[in-house]
Structure 1
Amino acid sequence: MTTHTDSFYANSIPNMPAYPQLQDNIEVDVCVVGAGFSGLSSALHLAEKGFRVAVLESAKVGFGATGRNGGQIVNSYSRDVDVIEQRYDRKTASELCNMIFEGGDIIRQLVETHNIDCDLKQGGLFTALNHKQLKGLEEHKKNWERYGNNQLSLLDENDVKQAVGTEAYVGGLLDMRGGHIHPLKLALGEADAFVKMGGQIFEQSAVTRIEKGQMPIAHTEKGSVKAKYLVLAGNAYLGGLAPNISNKAIPCGTQVVATAPLSDEQLKTILPSDYCVEDCNYLLDYFRLSADKRLLFGGGVVYGARDPQNIEQLIRPKMDKVFPELKGIQIDYAWTGNFLLTYSRMPQFGCFSDNIYYLQGYSGHGVTSTHLAGKLLAEALTGHAERFDAFASLKHYAFPGGRHFQIPFTALGAAYYNLRDKLAI
């Protein structure tokens, strides 16, 4: 039996719900593979529209990146307005940019509608380590305001010190449409809401093969699901089920640590605003406080999703640089999780064999984009595919270097941009 990784999130939920293993051959309208945010959002939105939906999960609900990420509600995609407007035609760019805040809105709506207790807090802060990055945040604010976000504030050096309590930053951009959550609690709350609507979730039910046809069938070790539509939402944990889409992205690992709970005195100086924070570097650091006042600090990328031997050794120097007064603080939890990186850094949505859909490749912006993905999928299956098709029209490029060299080539490119960040060029 596959259980959750030994993370702060998993250990903070004493009575983890369990769903049965599939041990029968069943038939539904839609079979969703993967019980992460992509699959759960799809299942919820489809159930709301009257579809009979079954979700197959190889491990536990929220087992992958969904239950391990930094818990930050960060708007837009891994490529933002400036790149989208340069890269795509006007109609496509407009359609994509008009959706950049919708994922966060969906999360807040689900939390309110289904009364999900997930430690939701408002406020996300982007921080600049140099004046070049601060100028970029000024442009960022203008771009987001053009698409309707009027909850943005530029912070100068003194303002950001008041919010974060560090000498590391020269300014920042506060987005009150951002925020943070306990991601595993959110996933479990969404799963519970879906089941209460009549949906079915099967854990420990890895899909071993897919049988294509007019009614595709997802086979597991002890059962199968026949459906009108199949949705592949396993993202970095999909494995080899669909090589035609998995070869268009590479899994990457990111690391997070959780400190021991901070004292009241430390809280006054470390993060008095209780916002979530991420810096503007290419290989960025991100952090926030948990509900029980731990500092959750993450950063870095391991290309190819290898688990590093010593996560604390990778993260502690980054944390000490931002908060030198926390040097030596006890690290209670350290874990890693995999996300799926695309060459374009844009999500990959699409359909093959006419009835097999896929949602993947959020490239580090999965908390919000996954929730948008599920809503768009439900729209597409009810005859309103225009917004889904805006994403489906984007070309999915393979990484240079082929199967053997794409990971080192990507790591080399990241090292180049990391050097540019350090030199502020």
Structure 2
Amino acid sequence: MVSSASTNPGHTSSWYAASANDKHVRPALQGDVEADICVIGAGFTGTSAALELSERGYSVVVLEAERIGFGASGRNGGQIVNGYSRDLQTIAGRYGKDKALKLAAMSLEGGEIIRSRVAKYSIACDLIHGGFFAAFTDKQIREMEAHKAHWEKHGHTGLEMVSKAEVSKYVKTDRYAGGMIDKLGGHIHPLNLVLGEAAAVESLGGRIYENSRVTAVEFGANPIVRTATGKVTAKYVLVCGNAYLGKLLPQIGDRMMPVSSQVMATEPLDADLIEQLLPANYCVEDANYILDYYRRTSDNRLLYGGGIGYGGSDPADLTGVIRPNMLKTFPQLEKTKIEFAWSGNFALTLTRIPHMGKLAENVYFSHGDSGHGVTTTHLLGKILGEAVAGHAERFDVWSSLPNLPFPGGKTFRVPLTVLGAWWYGLRDRLGL
């Protein structure tokens, strides 16, 4: 039976919400407050930026429309995957060698930020090291070998190729032809991570208001951010709403598309069985265009994700796509119950590269991590904080990257993207 009722009010009915360390609801903003910085959105990007600025001594207010980690930050697969949604070779071809080198120098930092903050603030988020990229075909293996060689030119020494005979060290299935491990990857309970980071912000004097949807941003020397019940007057505003920004600032939102992904969690499995399925306790994702991703949880569930809904739409049956794929990987789970199933939206850009910039000299934004957000949001949140503090060199690199509108605008962006995804999915099925 799939769980339909949340034990954590205001959150989706996920295993993460049910097992969150901190379920208390912060108050909504009431009245007028002032701060050096007002951050819109308490997901990974906003909380990372707020923590960076709080550590630097700034007064920070965070406004969250729902609950901390309500969106993709608290619903994702919980995998620490290094790099970006496009590989370094593609980035070099698009933007030139100089920019590619600068982005490559930052490409492992998101994971480093997570690990350092978990240690510094004693965040209990089930951090486990190690990830496995699974290949179905020899072509995908060759592509992984090329990526490995390119990564190593930029200092990533934690990658190892895995032969078909060695796959069983990481996952017990006959589906894969081999793959690659990343010792600098890993997995976490993402909602507990963002809640721990939010608590760190509060420990440094930051104020976080939940159920405080922003209704307007008024630009000026001291911009004003309004909610239904109050306002924040600040020196700087950071817009970090990503796929859940809605219609607030269309000059940002029109350059991204919300995309849903579905996740489910089984009932707790026998300890011997989960150990057999994933003996190294690495997280796994495959190399297909529309990929599956899965891992063990701290209470011995199998958490399995996949599927995609362009425009943020969900299938009527959340497990209808994922469960058949899970059974292709682990047919021995045929009679296993699914106790939780949920979905969440991430922000996709046309380039699949995050979009950073300014709406005014004192209004910054970052969004569009394009399905690669756990690490990238932590990096870009930190970079937003650096820019506000007067160190904008890295922000300038990101903000200089061109961001393009979707062909066909809002009317046709979904069908055209679906057509492209169908083509790449067909290539995966045919092994091309």
Q: Structure 2-normalised TM-score?
A: 0.97
SS of the equivalent of 1:98 reads helix
Q: Matched residues in 2 for 1:314 and 1:135: separation? A: 28
Letter in 1 for 2:200: A
Given candidates 207, 213, 217, the residue that maps to 1:210 is: 217
Q: Matched residues in 2 for 1:60 and 1:264: separation? A: 33
Could you give the per-residue CA deviations for residues 59-90 of structure 1, whole angstroms, max 9, x where no partner exists?
A: 10000001000000000010111101111122
Superposition pairs of residues 292-311 of structure 1, within 5 angstroms:
292-311=299-318
Q: Matched residues in 2 for 1:419 and 1:194: separation? A: 46
Please tell me whether the aligned partners of residues 383 and 394 of structure 2 are also in contact (alpha carbons under 8 angstroms). yes
Question: Is residue 27 of structure 2 the alignment partner of residue 20 of structure 1?
Answer: yes
SS of the equivalent of 1:227 reads strand
Q: Matched residues in 2 for 1:359 and 1:69: separation? A: 19
- For 1:43, the equivalent position in structure 2 comes to 50
SS of the equivalent of 1:159 reads helix
- Say how many residue pairs are matched: 425
Q: Matched residues in 2 for 1:237 and 1:393: separation? A: 24
- For 1:348, the equivalent position in structure 2 comes to 355
- For 1:288, the equivalent position in structure 2 comes to 295
Could you give the per-residue CA deviations for residues 226-279 of structure 1, whole angstroms, max 9, x where no partner exists?
A: 111111101000111110111111000000000011112312321111000000
Please tell me whether the aligned partners of residues 274 and 301 of structure 2 are also in contact (alpha carbons under 8 angstroms). no
- For 1:199, the equivalent position in structure 2 comes to 206
Could you give the per-residue CA deviations for residues 380-403 of structure 1, whole angstroms, max 9, x where no partner exists?
A: 112211111111001110111222
Letter in 1 for 2:419: L
Superposition pairs of residues 160-179 of structure 1, within 5 angstroms:
160-179=167-186
> How much does 1:14 deviate?
6.4
Could you give the per-residue CA deviations for residues 318-376 of structure 1, whole angstroms, max 9, x where no partner exists?
A: 10111111113100000000000000000011111211111100000110000001111
- Listed as ranges, the gaps of 5+ residues in structure 1 are none
- For 2:385, the equivalent position in structure 1 comes to 378
Q: Matched residues in 1 for 2:149 and 2:257: separation? A: 32
Given candidates 112, 115, 118, the residue that maps to 2:125 is: 118
SS of the equivalent of 2:106 reads coil
- For 1:271, the equivalent position in structure 2 comes to 278
Please tell me whether the aligned partners of residues 269 and 300 of structure 2 are also in contact (alpha carbons under 8 angstroms). yes
Q: Matched residues in 1 for 2:388 and 2:410: separation? A: 34
Q: Matched residues in 2 for 1:306 and 1:89: separation? A: 36
Letter in 2 for 1:260: E
- For 1:228, the equivalent position in structure 2 comes to 235
Q: Matched residues in 2 for 1:290 and 1:104: separation? A: 19
> How much does 1:15 deviate?
5.0
Q: Matched residues in 1 for 2:403 and 2:381: separation? A: 20
Given candidates 184, 189, 199, the residue that maps to 1:182 is: 189
Q: After alignment, is 197-206 or 395-404 more displaced?
A: 395-404
Letter in 1 for 2:120: T
Q: Matched residues in 1 for 2:159 and 2:190: separation? A: 24
Please tell me whether the aligned partners of residues 61 and 207 of structure 2 are also in contact (alpha carbons under 8 angstroms). yes
> How much does 1:2 deviate?
6.8
Letter in 1 for 2:14: S
Question: Is residue 431 of structure 2 the alignment partner of residue 409 of structure 1?
Answer: no
Q: Matched residues in 1 for 2:389 and 2:411: separation? A: 41
SS of the equivalent of 2:23 reads coil
Could you give the per-residue CA deviations for residues 400-419 of structure 1, whole angstroms, max 9, x where no partner exists?
A: 12221110100110000000
Q: Matched residues in 2 for 1:78 and 1:289: separation? A: 23
Could you give the per-residue CA deviations for residues 144-171 of structure 1, whole angstroms, max 9, x where no partner exists?
A: 1111111111100011122100001011
Q: Matched residues in 2 for 1:389 and 1:407: separation? A: 30
Q: Matched residues in 2 for 1:198 and 1:147: separation? A: 38
Percent identity, aligned pairs only?
50
Q: Matched residues in 1 for 2:50 and 2:59: separation? A: 9
Please tell me whether the aligned partners of residues 133 and 280 of structure 1 are also in contact (alpha carbons under 8 angstroms). yes
Given candidates 91, 101, 120, the residue that maps to 2:108 is: 101
> How much does 1:307 deviate?
2.5
Please tell me whether the aligned partners of residues 252 and 305 of structure 1 are also in contact (alpha carbons under 8 angstroms). yes
Could you give the per-residue CA deviations for residues 91-134 of structure 1, whole angstroms, max 9, x where no partner exists?
A: 11111111110000000000000000000000011110010000
- For 2:148, the equivalent position in structure 1 comes to 141
Question: Is residue 136 of structure 2 the alignment partner of residue 129 of structure 1?
Answer: yes
Q: Matched residues in 2 for 1:303 and 1:168: separation? A: 27
Letter in 2 for 1:271: L
Q: Matched residues in 1 for 2:409 and 2:158: separation? A: 43
Please tell me whether the aligned partners of residues 2 and 204 of structure 1 are also in contact (alpha carbons under 8 angstroms). no
SS of the equivalent of 1:10 reads helix
Letter in 1 for 2:298: A
SS of the equivalent of 1:164 reads coil
Q: Matched residues in 1 for 2:83 and 2:50: separation? A: 22
Q: Matched residues in 2 for 1:111 and 1:17: separation? A: 21
- For 2:83, the equivalent position in structure 1 comes to 76
Please tell me whether the aligned partners of residues 111 and 117 of structure 1 are also in contact (alpha carbons under 8 angstroms). yes
- For 2:4, the equivalent position in structure 1 comes to none
- For 1:159, the equivalent position in structure 2 comes to 166
Given candidates 302, 322, 333, the residue that maps to 1:326 is: 333
Letter in 2 for 1:24: G
Q: Matched residues in 2 for 1:402 and 1:219: separation? A: 29
Please tell me the root mean square deviation across aligned C-alpha atoms, in Å: 1.1
- For 2:256, the equivalent position in structure 1 comes to 249
Q: Matched residues in 1 for 2:335 and 2:426: separation? A: 28
Structure 1 segments of 4 or more deviating over 3 A? Answer: none
- For 1:58, the equivalent position in structure 2 comes to 65
SS of the equivalent of 2:326 reads helix
